[in-house]
């Protein structure tokens, strides 16, 4: 009866224009705000993007907090619950798995410890931003904040949002660091794959970076003394690789299962990455640098980013901001964008900043260097809406918290973990658990982001930087997540800086596999790569800097260990070739490069597919499409549809017989490299299907079966007529709200979710609309925004967001930019006050 009542009430809401619009923000006229010192003007264009003008930093940040809350307070509130491990308070059991992990890692506690480390100016900005958010909350009832609160109230949620604090903003940086944490997934996957197929064959599936084929970001320089010298010619050394620590396969599998339950606030998976590049004036049509950036993150509604401009009416030391770009709701300032002097863009550096340790635990002690030491214990209580509180004890070694405890905590709390079949397949190989003498194998996590650092200082310092020196100084505090940052300025310079807190390991641990926690020689040294030794370059002779998550620098010339789990470099190689081929690059051509849909694996695999003998007629029809295919994965391409269906079948038929579900290919860049190396070996053991006893399959057997299965699949999914196939018909973008959009109640989901955009591109293409070959063809990660900035005319810049600035369902700016994004179009990005006023549709005056 209660469910029926809720459904009836929801059905009534869908017809109520008043209730739907109740939470939409006021964007014109006047409002008074507590805490303001002077008048603030907020100008919005027809996309709803706010440009904020104030006379003081305090008022600027306060107004940003107010405007962000107007547009997206529910999203901000959910994010702070997620980063504090308190989702269960809002959503009941559905949030419990995430809360268990976040409480174990202690994100909120670390954020609280970071607050006193911040510079006074940063602390003041955070506090002013919080004042703005709280001023919004004081003026609104719960139903006036969002439609989501109205629906949650119908389910019995007795809730009043707490005041926003500076820690709420800082905690979001922990979520950033977690989703962009580097090679933790690869470390677990490599260890588990080795347990299944042996270390030698596992090496086939984790190939080394091809430095001879795909250039790293920085191709010059090395460390001289205590700093990176871009002119240095000499090289360095490589660290030793440790042996795989014994045991812990079952514990690792349980850790993997629990970690998958953490919501990907930025996204996760092989598609997470980014493109960013910059060229100097010798390569442009105007003689000035142009910078481009499109971070590849998870798809969500609302999207990860919101756009904003922050302008001091008179720029001075007291009010130093004149900046615009992309920010996160809940975080003051601009994260990626440009000010009046410089522009910058981010891609994930992906340094190895996480290590797993296999610990020998007995009771509440752990073994280290021949001694039994006490574990650190911490109690956590999780409140669950509609259920009993859940209490857990977090146990930690000096390396970090025991993630393997999460499996038992989840089981006690009634959380059903996903079984990926791994434990059954590996049998007793490396079994973890209690030994006969009561000793337990446990898994701990060492992670740099659990060390308090003032990363928030870096974000606001970037917004204020006016040249290369100030830019580099700002990034020194950017501890996590480690990033590649490209740079350009109005004086004509371009540059690159690697950032992040990267541990220096002892020779017994290179981070590729879980290490023996009881051995001193596997510890981190307690030191980190000094900032001045991280790779950087200013005005390289090539005039081009392209970053796409590829290797930063050849370890033959650079001694400190960053990681060995780079993106394999297909995107960066393609971008570099396109940029080098044109010495009159424009904003338009830069945007076109962001949309490039040429497939590297298509070029490699297609010749082998064309050699396969297929039955004439029906099954050969798809193969005929490939004979004239240009390897592009456009929305309307029938050949791309067929190729990707074949590619998916090839991956499954080659590896699924030997790898359990959780380790099977997702089809990303690593699998491009694996197949490219495997294809010339027609009799390699991987081609054999071990489930067939009477036959040994070879390469063409697998390719033939894959092409036949792909033809049948496309007939079922699209049409018997290949001329009616299209890649966009298979490869669609569906945007879902991470909260009520996953409620399981159809009518509620239809309120908040949007979908059906047909898009081109694909995994590890420059237009990186990734899909998971284990699941289907739908988009899983994508360019979360696109921007192109010419440094000679900032008003000629272009930008677009994946969704829109509004988090309110049915608001005109909820998904208005998605249509543009899907067509590959962008919006004009006005920056000067004159141009902002010309583009302005609404003006709101905020008064003390």
Residues facing 298 on adjacent strands: 781
Closest CA to 304 of 268, 258, 342, 261: 268
Q: Are 140 and 118 in contact (CB under 8 A)?
A: no
* Active site residues per annotation: 274
- C-alpha to C-alpha distances, 311 to 56, 60, 324, 334, 804, nearest whole angstrom: 10, 8, 8, 11, 21
| Bridge-based pairing state of the strands 779-783 and 273-279 | unpaired
**Beta bridge partners of residue 40, listed in sequence order:** 846
Residue 757 near residue 732 (C-beta atoms within 8 A): yes
DSSP lists the bridge partners of residue 790 as 290
CA distances from 124 to 115, 141, 173, 457, 570 (A): 11, 27, 18, 11, 44
Beta bridge partners of 575: none
| CA distance between the termini of the chain | 49
- The strand pair at 515-516 and 732-735 is best described as unpaired
Q: What is the CA 206 to chain-centroid distance, rounded? A: 21
Residue 521 among known ligand-binding residues: no
Pairing assessment for the beta strands 483-489 and 440-447 based on DSSP bridges = unpaired
Q: Which two tokens stand for residue 265?
A: 């606030």
Provide the β-strand partners of residue 371: 368
Handedness of CA 183, 185, 188, 194 (dihedral sign): negative
Give the SS3 label for residue 187.
helix
Q: In whole angstroms, what is the distance from residue 362 CA to residue 267 CA?
A: 37
CA distance 815 to 818: 5
- List the Cα angle 325/327/329 in 5-degree steps: 145
Is residue 420 part of an annotated ligand binding site? no
Ramachandran region, residue 92 (left: φ > 0; alpha: ψ -120 to 50; beta: rest): left
Task: Find out whether 546 and 229 touch, Cβ atoms under 8 Å.
Answer: no
Beta-bridge partner residues of 789: 291
> Alpha-carbon distance 415 to 403, whole Å?
15
Contact 344, 486 (CB under 8 A): yes
Beta-bridge partners for 596: none
How many Cα neighbours within 13 Å face the side chain of 246? Answer: 5
Ligand-binding annotation for 775, yes or no, is no
DSSP 196-219: HH-HHHHHHHSPPP-TTTS--S--
Q: Which two tokens stand for residue 601?
A: 């694996």
Residues in the chain: 848
Q: How many CB atoms lie within 10 A of CB 479?
A: 25
Distance, CA of 701 to CA of 705 (rounded, Å): 6
Is 641 within 8 Å of 726 (Cβ atoms)?
Answer: yes
Query: Where is the binding site, in residues?
Result: 187, 352, 355
Query: Where is the binding site for Ca(2+), in residues?
Result: 187, 352, 355
């Amino acid at each position: 009866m209660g469910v029926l009542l809720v459904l009836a009430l929801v059905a009534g809401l869908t017809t109520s224009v008043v209730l739907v619009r109740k939470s939409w923000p006021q964007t014109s006229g006047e409002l008074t705000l507590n805490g303001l010192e002077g008048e603030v003007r907020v100008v919005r264009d027809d996309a709803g993007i706010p440009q904020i003008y104030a006379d003081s930093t305090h008022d600027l940040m306060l107004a940003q907090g107010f405007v962000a809350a107007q547009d997206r307070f529910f999203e901000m509130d959910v994010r702070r619950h997620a980063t504090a491990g308190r989702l269960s308070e809002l959503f009941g059991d559905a949030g419990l798995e995430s809360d268990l992990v976040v409480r174990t890692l202690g994100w909120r506690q670390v954020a609280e410890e970071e607050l006193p480390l911040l510079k006074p100016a940063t602390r003041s900005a955070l506090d002013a931003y919080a004042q703005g958010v709280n001023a919004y909350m004081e003026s609104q009832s719960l139903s006036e904040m969002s439609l989501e609160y109205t629906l949650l109230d119908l389910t019995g949620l007795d809730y009043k949002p707490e005041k926003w604090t500076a820690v709420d903003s800082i905690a979001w940086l922990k979520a950033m660091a977690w989703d962009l944490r580097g090679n933790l997934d690869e470390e677990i996957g490599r260890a588990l794959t080795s347990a299944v197929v042996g270390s030698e064959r596992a090496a086939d599936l984790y190939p080394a970076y091809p430095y001879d084929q795909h250039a790293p970001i920085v191709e010059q320089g090395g460390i001289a003394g205590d700093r990176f010298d871009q002119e240095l010619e000499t090289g360095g050394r490589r660290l030793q690789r440790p042996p795989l620590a014994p045991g812990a396969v079952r514990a690792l599998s349980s850790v993997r299962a629990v970690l998958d339950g953490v919501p990907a606030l930025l996204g996760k998976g092989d598609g997470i990455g980014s493109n960013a590049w910059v060229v100097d004036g010798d390569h442009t049509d105007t003689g000035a640098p142009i910078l481009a950036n499109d971070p590849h993150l998870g798809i969500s509604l609302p999207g990860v980013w919101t756009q904003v401009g922050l302008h001091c009416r008179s720029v001075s030391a007291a009010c130093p901001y004149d900046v615009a770009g992309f920010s996160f709701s809940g975080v003051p300032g601009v994260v990626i964008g440009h000010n009046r002097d410089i522009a910058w863009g981010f891609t994930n550096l992906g340094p190895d900043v996480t290590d797993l340790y296999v610990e020998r635990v007995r009771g509440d002690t752990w073994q280290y260097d021949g001694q039994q030491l006490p574990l650190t214990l911490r109690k956590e209580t999780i409140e669950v809406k509609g259920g009993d509180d859940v209490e857990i004890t977090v146990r930690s070694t000096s390396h970090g918290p025991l993630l393997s405890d999460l499996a038992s905590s989840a089981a006690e709390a009634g959380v059903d973990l996903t079984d990926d079949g791994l434990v059954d397949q590996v049998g007793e190989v490396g079994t973890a658990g209690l030994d006969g003498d009561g000793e337990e194998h446990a898994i701990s996590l060492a992670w740099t982001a659990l060390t308090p650092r003032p990363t928030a200082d870096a974000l606001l310092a970037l917004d204020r930087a006016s040249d290369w020196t100030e830019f580099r100084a700002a990034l020194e505090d950017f501890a996590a997540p480690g990033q590649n940052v490209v740079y350009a300025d109005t004086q004509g310079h371009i540059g690159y800086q690697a950032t992040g807190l990267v541990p220096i390991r002892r020779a017994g641990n290179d981070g590729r596999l879980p290490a023996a926690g009881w051995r001193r020689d596997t510890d981190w040294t307690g030191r980190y790569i000094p900032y001045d030794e991280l790779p950087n370059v200013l005005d390289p002779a090539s005039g081009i800097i392209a970053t796409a998550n590829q290797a930063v620098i050849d370890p033959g010339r650079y001694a400190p260990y960053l990681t060995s789990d780079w993106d394999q470099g297909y995107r960066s190689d393609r971008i570099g070739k396109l940029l080098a081929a044109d010495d009159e690059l424009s904003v338009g051509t830069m945007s076109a490069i962001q949309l490039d849909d040429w497939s590297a694996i298509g070029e490699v695999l297609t010749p082998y597919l064309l050699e396969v003998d297929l039955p004439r007629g029906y099954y050969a029809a798809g193969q005929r499409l490939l004979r004239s295919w240009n390897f592009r994965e456009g929305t309307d391409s029938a050949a791309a549809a067929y190729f990707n269906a074949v590619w998916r079948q090839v991956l499954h038929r080659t590896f699924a017989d030997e790898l359990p579900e959780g380790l099977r290919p997702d089809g990303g860049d690593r699998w491009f490299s694996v197949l490219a190396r495997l294809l010339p070996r027609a009799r390699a053991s991987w081609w054999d299907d071990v489930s067939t006893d009477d036959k040994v399959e070879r390469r063409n057997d697998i390719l033939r079966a894959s092409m036949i299965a792909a033809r049948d699949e496309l007939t079922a999914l699209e049409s018997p007529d290949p001329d009616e196939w299209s890649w966009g018909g298979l490869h669609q973008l569906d945007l879902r709200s991470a909260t009520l959009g996953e409620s399981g109640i159809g009518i509620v989901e239809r309120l908040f979710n949007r979908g059906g955009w047909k898009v081109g591109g694909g995994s590890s293409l420059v237009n990186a609309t990734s899909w998971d070959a284990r699941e289907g063809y739908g988009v899983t990660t994508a360019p979360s925004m696109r921007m192109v900035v010419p440094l000679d005319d900032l008003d000629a810049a272009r930008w677009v967001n994946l969704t829109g600035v509004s988090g309110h369902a049915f608001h005109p700016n909820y998904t208005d930019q998605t249509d543009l994004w899907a067509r590959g179009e962008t919006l004009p990005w006005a920056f000067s006050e004159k141009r902002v006023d010309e583009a302005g549709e609404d003006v709101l005056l905020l008064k003390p």
